[in-house]
Amino acid sequence: MSEETPTSRPPPKPPKTDEERHEELFGERTDDQILARSLTLWLGGQDYEVPVLPIAKSRVWRKRVMDFMAEATARSTTKIDDPVAFASAMSKHFLETPEVVIDLVFDYAPNLPRDEIEAVATDGEIAKAFWEVLRTVRDPFALWL
């Protein structure tokens, strides 16, 4: 009887803590990242450098995001002053309308090869790319939050 030899795999990484996940999604960008005037999005197994939008274009993009979020609050019976319930309502809205999130990513970065990326990228990669763009747009104003 021959025994199977286990393949050599690195030990699994411990799961990230809530704080680590929060920092990854909502943490501030470094000064170097801000001064580079670009952000890196991981989509379809590869990095894409995306220029940060100038003020006028960023304003239009932020308005679309705010409209999207306003739609979620209008459709929900959740009170906006309950952060946990609000986050839950937002999550539900994102899950019900993933195409809007995808459109928002490609609206921010119209030079990305959308068809190629959509053929190979995962929903998780798109979601993370959206949050990275949102974090980039939010950071200049986060000083006052």
Is residue 19 included in any domain, yes or no? no
Within-domain flag for 18:
no
For residue 98, is it within any domain? yes
Instruction: Give a yes or no: residue 24 inside a domain.
Output: no
Q: Which residue has the tokens 């699994």?
A: 12
42 domain-assigned: yes
Provide the token pair at 12.
């699994």
Task: Give pLDDT tens digits for 81-113.
Answer: 777 777 777 777 777 888 989 999 999 999 999
Whether residue 1 is contained in a domain is answered as: no
Pairwise CA distance, residues 27 & 132, whole Å: 10
- At residue 129 the predicted structure's pLDDT band, cuts being 50, 70 and 90, is very high
143 has pLDDT over 50:
no
Q: In the chain, helix, strand, coil percent, each to 5?
A: 60, 10, 30
User: pLDDT band for position 142 (50/70/90)?
Assistant: very low
Choose among 65, 71, 111: nearest CA to 92. 71
Q: Count of domains in the chain?
A: 1
Domain that holds residue 80: 30-142
Q: From the centroid of its chain, how far is CA 74?
A: 22
